[in-house]
Amino acid sequence: MVKKILKIVGIVLLLLIVSAFAIPYFFKDQIKAKIEKTINEKVDAKVAFADADLSLFRNFPNASVRVEKLSIINKAPFEGDTLVAFEELNLKMSIKELFKGEDEPINIDGISSKNGLINIIFNKDGIGNYDIALKDDKDKKDDDKSKPMAFKIKEYSVENFRFQYYDEASKMKMVLDSINHEGKGDFAASKLDLDTKTTAKVSLDMDKANYLKNVALSLDAVLGIDMEQSKYTFKENKAKINELPLEFNGFIQMVENGQLYDLTFKTPTSSFKNFLGLIPAQYATNIKDVKTEGDFTVNGFAKGTYTDTTIPKFNIEIASNNASFQYPNLPKSVQNIMIDTRIINETGVMNDTYVNLDKLSFRIDQDVFNAKANIRNIAENALVNADLKGTINLGNVTKAYPVKLDKPLSGILKADVKTEFDMQSVEKSDYARIKNAGNIDLTGFNYTDENGKKMAISKAVVEFNPSRVNLKQFNAVTGKSDLAVNGVLENFYGFVFKNQELKGDFNLNSNQIAVDDFMTTNEPKEGEKKQTEAMKIPAFLNCTLTAKANTVLYDNLTLRDVSGKLIIKDQKVTLENGKTNIFNGLITFNGDVSTKEKTPKFNMNLGLNNVDIAQTFTQLDMMKKIAPIAGIINGKLNSTIHLNGNLDEKEMTPDLKSLTGDLLGQLLSTTVNSKNSTLLSALDSNLNFIDLNKLNLNDLKAALTFKDGKVNIKPFDLKYQDISATIGGTHGFDQLMNYDLKLNVPAKYLGTEVNNLIAKLTPADANKVESVPINAMLTGSFSNPKVSTDVKQATTNLVTNLVKQQKDKLVNNTKDALNDVISNVTKPKTDSTKTDVKTDVKDKATGLIKGLLGGKKKEEPKKTE
């Protein structure tokens, strides 16, 4: 009997377990339908989610609904903007809620989410994208119809949440990132205590200025909530801004036209460690063991109503008196710290907020630094008045404060500056309304970056005048390069406060600049070599630089007396009137280089004046590819070159595959060394009537174009003694070629047999023998050329023509002689004539026949190569 009971119990348990797994599948469609119906009845937006499932075990004995990849996308006027997105949204409820009818509300006990986003936007017209609730339908009869879901939450949480707020009108952007928040309380009650824990990072930008960046916030608080009055009261709470502790008292209440604030806050202690807690953790390290003296306090209140037109009145006081601190492992201390700062609004009007930094002072050893400032009219057109005066030994900074630097700083910074300006003047570059006086002086500054590159600034002086900021002096050395710069900064405040372009007009002088010193070096992975990359042209630069350098080292080249004007704007450098002495001549250059796109581009016009040909076409890889044969020519060159293309991203050298352009050149005082060229040696052996070493190329002009890795040379004429030639064709950067050489060669150069035949002609006929056209084809590559000519065929044709010419002439002479004989026979003779007519005719006829037959067999003409 017991066994039977146990068997029945086992079967029942098995059925329950199977049912527990099966029920979620039966109710899945019902849950999805209710979620869709609930959302679609309430919002005017595009709502989508990937899936929704139900589990009876995840939060047993409660049921759990999980919605995956939920998103709410706005319609016009915010078409396509994401309002809400959750990677995962979980709802917890009693299992009995699953068995309610379609129109019965489902009560939700708990809600949680992961990797969520809320994105609030106000456009220029003040309309918010969050207003997606469907408007009430006045004709709807069933207003009291039950909704399919209700909330009676007892706990909730969000993990890795992001809240974004942007107001297009004020250009204010606030981001709360990495939000982790949880709360527990019975929302079914009209009054409850909500126990919350929150961590987040806050960033705040106004216009183009950043005020907060990833500032860590935390709050553990018990909030007393009065649901009927929409009132939230701070009870037990501990808050931190970075590591600065704060306590809050008072309440926030939702009222008809906004929120009512009545809050006070203060630091729970007055230790100076409170100040160190304000500094981000990555710069402050562990402050627990820091020895401090003196105090630091933050006190304040906020009281009033936040509406569309008003803010609460508030007063925040930050104070420290004769404080000091020293980190346990550092030799220096910071002493005599004085802080007196207030942020105040006495009217509830946002623009009446003002900031008074009445005093900020500290001392390290004997170096004292003082500052004071005030900012008014903060919302509409901030008015800034500031004084800076003092000395900072940069070498002492890391000895007194644990700044995380790969290499220590050194140098003395001295400042004595007064400034007064308003933000509208800065934005409009209205320098007449900006008042400056004083200077900043930096000496002996040494810096080493993370890749070991060093820069030593021996002297830098910035002078503040009423209408401008002058870079009076800047002397620095880095690697093999030395720099001396001076000039005018036209938009210093716009660059500092408004993220505007840095405008200026500068002069640069240098004894030597090594381009490698300004290339960035990437740290290699194990087993790899260090790789250098060219620096991108900064987008914020909009300036002119007139430069002179005695020597510039670029790759394997040494450029002398380099000068020119550089216009830097929109990540592009335009070069004007550039020139340099190189290859025993002068090169001028005008053009531009742009790094705005992913692949840098250049466009350049070069003028080569009296440069050494061999050096130019052997040391410049680009020129070597364009005209490889020029490397065996000794002499000078004048040329103009137009070219454009892409630059190699790492070394900023031309990418030859992308090169396009043209070249027009003239050779001066040139000689040819054919022994240095496989091509010319092959050509010389095929054209034995030409000695290429004696080729005169003086004043030769040639034009060529290049594109897609191929060079096209326009046919040009060449003269060698009394031989004329025309050359044209193409070759590739891969050195493969296809050239035509057309020569007009006098017959006397085509061998002994030709000359013997010409010798048999009368002088008059010999002069009529024209020059012979000879064709040569040059293919293969410059290192392995293939030369073919028609010299043999042209010589054979000439010999045949000369033989035919002699025969034709002999026949014509025979005819003339016969005519003379016949004429003499028929002519009457005088008595005194003793000649035997028959004998005379016979002798002359015999001579003519022998002449026609040649007396003996003619030799075969010799073959001429």
Residue 853 lies in a domain: no
For residues 341-365, average pLDDT: 94
- 835 CB neighbour count, 10 Å cutoff: 9
Residues 700 and 500: their CA atoms lie apart, in Å, by 54
| Highest-confidence segment of 201-205, 478-482, 767-771 | 478-482
Residues 295 and 100: their CA atoms lie apart, in Å, by 63
Note the pLDDT of residue 827.
56
Name the more confident of 480 and 129. 480
Residues 376 and 349: their CA atoms lie apart, in Å, by 13
Same domain assignment for residues 164 and 267: no
Q: Which residues contact 820 (CB under 8 A, 6 or more apart)?
A: none
The closest of 426, 417, 538, 410 to 470, measured between CA atoms, is: 417
Residue 103 lies in a domain: yes
Residues 80 and 846: their CA atoms lie apart, in Å, by 115
Give the lowest-confidence range in 46-50, 54-58, 289-293, 636-640: 54-58
Residues 381 and 163: their CA atoms lie apart, in Å, by 28
How far from 163 is each of 82, 125, 657, CA to CA, in Å? Answer: 12, 22, 48
The closest of 617, 605, 622, 712 to 658, measured between CA atoms, is: 622
Note the pLDDT of residue 587.
95
Looking at 404, 420, 451, the residue that finishes a domain is 404
Note the pLDDT of residue 13.
38
Residues 254 and 43: their CA atoms lie apart, in Å, by 23
For residues 252-267, average pLDDT: 91
Query: Given a cut of 60, is residue 388 above it in pLDDT?
Result: yes
Token pair of 150 as six digits: 């209700």
Per-residue pLDDT tens digits for 606-623: 999 999 988 888 888 888
Note the pLDDT of residue 672.
78
DSSP code at position 5: H
Residue 115 lies in a domain: yes
Query: Given a cut of 60, is residue 450 above it in pLDDT?
Result: yes
Token pair of 70 as six digits: 């939920």
Looking at 374, 404, 434, the residue that finishes a domain is 404
Same domain assignment for residues 400 and 269: yes
Residues 442 and 468: their CA atoms lie apart, in Å, by 19
Same domain assignment for residues 15 and 152: yes
Same domain assignment for residues 41 and 125: yes
For residues 455-467, average pLDDT: 89
Query: Given a cut of 60, is residue 136 above it in pLDDT?
Result: no
Same domain assignment for residues 250 and 388: yes
Token pair of 454 as six digits: 């060093």
Residue type present at position 716: F
The closest of 547, 549, 641 to 590, measured between CA atoms, is: 641
* DSSP code string of 708-772: TTEEEEEEEEEEETTEEEEEEEEEETTSBEEEEEEEEE-GGGS-HHHHHHHHTS-HHHHHH-PPE
Residues 540 and 71: their CA atoms lie apart, in Å, by 37
Q: How many domains does the chain have?
A: 2
For residues 644-672, average pLDDT: 85
CA 207, chain centre distance (Å): 25
448-453 contacts, C-beta under 8 A, 24 or more apart: 448/406, 448/407, 449/406, 449/407, 450/406, 450/523, 451/520, 451/521, 451/522, 451/523, 452/521, 453/478, 453/479, 453/517, 453/521
For residues 653-659, average pLDDT: 86
β partners of residue 437: 418
* DSSP code string of 479-545: TTEEEEEEEEES-HHHHHHH---EEEEEEEEEEEEEGGGGEEEEPPPTTPPPEEEEPPPPTTEEEEE
Note the pLDDT of residue 40.
64
Per-residue pLDDT tens digits for 530-576: 555 666 788 888 999 999 999 999 878 899 999 999 999 999 999 99
The closest of 172, 160, 158 to 212, measured between CA atoms, is: 172
Same domain assignment for residues 250 and 165: no
* Residue 128 pLDDT level (bands cut at 50, 70, 90): confident
Residue 633 lies in a domain: no
Looking at 404, 439, 462, the residue that finishes a domain is 404
Residue 188 lies in a domain: no
Going through 142-243 in order, the beta strands assigned E by DSSP cover 149-167, 172-184, 191-206, 209-226, 231-241
Residue 602 lies in a domain: no
Same domain assignment for residues 164 and 282: no
Same domain assignment for residues 27 and 159: yes
Residues 608 and 641: their CA atoms lie apart, in Å, by 8
Residues 625 and 631: their CA atoms lie apart, in Å, by 11
Note the pLDDT of residue 100.
64
Note the pLDDT of residue 20.
39
Tell me the percentage of the chain whose pLDDT exceeds 90.
32
Residues 348 and 524: their CA atoms lie apart, in Å, by 57
Residue 496 lies in a domain: no
CA end-to-end span of the chain: 124
Residue 557 lies in a domain: no
Cβ atoms of 482 and 511 within 8 Å: the answer is: yes
Cβ atoms of 109 and 63 within 8 Å: the answer is: no
Query: Given a cut of 90, is residue 278 above it in pLDDT?
Result: no
Q: Residue 534 in 3-state DSSP?
A: strand
Same domain assignment for residues 5 and 104: yes
Token pair of 648 as six digits: 């190699």
Same domain assignment for residues 399 and 271: yes
Same domain assignment for residues 284 and 370: yes
Name the more confident of 110 and 438. 438
Residues 554 and 512: their CA atoms lie apart, in Å, by 11
Query: Given a cut of 80, is residue 329 above it in pLDDT?
Result: yes
Note down the domain range covering 81: 1-133+148-169
For residues 143-159, average pLDDT: 64
Same domain assignment for residues 296 and 399: yes
* Residue 525 pLDDT level (bands cut at 50, 70, 90): low
The closest of 286, 371, 357, 259 to 317, measured between CA atoms, is: 357
Per-residue pLDDT tens digits for 568-581: 999 999 999 999 99
The closest of 211, 270, 212, 224 to 245, measured between CA atoms, is: 270
- 605 CB neighbour count, 10 Å cutoff: 16
Residue type present at position 257: N
